[in-house]
Structure 1
Amino acid sequence: MNRRTMLAAVIALTTGLTLAGCSSSDNKPELKVTGAFMPQPVSDMAAGFLVVKNSGGASDRLTSVTSTISDDVTIHETKNEKMRMVTSLEVPAGGELELKRGGNHLMFMKLKQQPKQGEKVSVELHFEKADPIKVDLPVKGTTHNPKKH
């Protein structure tokens, strides 16, 4: 192989890798959190609800949640009216993960303090691929249940 052919091969390979890199960077999760709230707790436990919207081209997974209000925050799934703790929940590409009453949700155990209506509880959501997202959950009335429009 002469120098010109070698140089052409290197340029073609580099261009191909660069283009592949561009297309794969478009294929990543783009997450945004909306509708977050926590009903005012009536015991040393509380629930958290929110929606994680993914406008990206790749799915992701919510893997854990941390908060200063509790050292024991877990992710729960509800199927067939049965609640169970899970290690993660999917945030589909171009879709959303909805945490709502009667469905999937966050559980805060052994609260260090009981937040009151009007206050905010800070949490950090951790994902498999995306960077963590910090969210404030406004504390709402005990029976608060937003309706989807």
Structure 2
Amino acid sequence: MLATVLGGGAILAACGSGGQGGQGGQAAAEAGPAKLSVADPYIPLPPAGGMGAGYLTVRNDGGPDQLVKVTSPGAGSITMHRSTASSMEQVQSLDVPAHGALQLARGGTHLMIMGWQKAPALGDEVELDLTFAKSGTIAVKVPVKELTYRPGQS
């Protein structure tokens, strides 16, 4: 009899974790505030006086958000771009999915940095101010790396 009672409790518990109740909890979590952090930021050393590119990952442990603007005290303008197989297009915002990540990487979504106040040198750190629709602005110190640098590789 004890086995029947314990088995019935396990079935009820399993039913309670799925269905409408489980989805409602997920929807509530996605509607909550974004919890953002930035990982692996870098700028490959740009040619003297030339445009630079910026790469990083925005991790999100909360609800959805959007990257809507990027500025820097060390640059005249920064634009967001999306690359395809045949072209590069400027975009006005980039989605940061709930409980996911926005990855800015070579060959894909990235930043274009123009109008340097001072040409960056290898080892410098450039401040980027990332502005999000819901979360406000996050200032990130981004190291200038050699042109061939790839995060996670020695």
* Partner in structure 2 of residue 106 of structure 1: 111
Q: Return the alpha-carbon distance in structure 2 between the equivalents of residues 26 and 72 of structure 1.
A: 32
Letter in structure 1 aligned against 2:52: A
After superposition, the C-alpha distances for 1:86-132 in whole angstroms (9 at most, x for unaligned) are: 00000000000000111100111122221111110011000010021
* Partner in structure 2 of residue 51 of structure 1: 57
How far is 1:147 from its partner? 4.0
1:71 aligned counterpart, secondary structure: strand
Q: Return the alpha-carbon distance in structure 2 between the equivalents of residues 41 and 30 of structure 1.
A: 32
- Sequence identity, in percent? 38
Give the aligned length: 125
* Partner in structure 1 of residue 126 of structure 2: 121
1:40-79 alignment, distance < 5 Å: 40-43=45-48, 44-56=50-62, 58-79=63-84
Contact persistence 2:59–2:102 (CA under 8 A): yes
* Partner in structure 1 of residue 32 of structure 2: 27
Letter in structure 1 aligned against 2:112: M
Give the direction of change, closer, same or farther, for the CA distance of 1:81–1:144 in structure 2 (3 Å limit).
farther
Letter in structure 2 aligned against 1:78: S
1:127-146 alignment, distance < 5 Å: 127-146=132-151
Unpaired runs of 5+ residues, structure 2, are 1-27
Show structure 1 runs of 4+ deviating over 6 A. Answer: 23-26
1:90 is aligned, of 90, 95, 100, to: 95
Unpaired runs of 5+ residues, structure 1, are 1-22
Letter in structure 2 aligned against 1:27: G
Contact persistence 1:123–1:137 (CA under 8 A): yes
Letter in structure 2 aligned against 1:141: E
Q: Return the alpha-carbon distance in structure 2 between the equivalents of residues 133 and 35 of structure 1.
A: 15
How far is 1:45 from its partner? 0.7
RMSD: 1.8
How far is 1:80 from its partner? 3.0
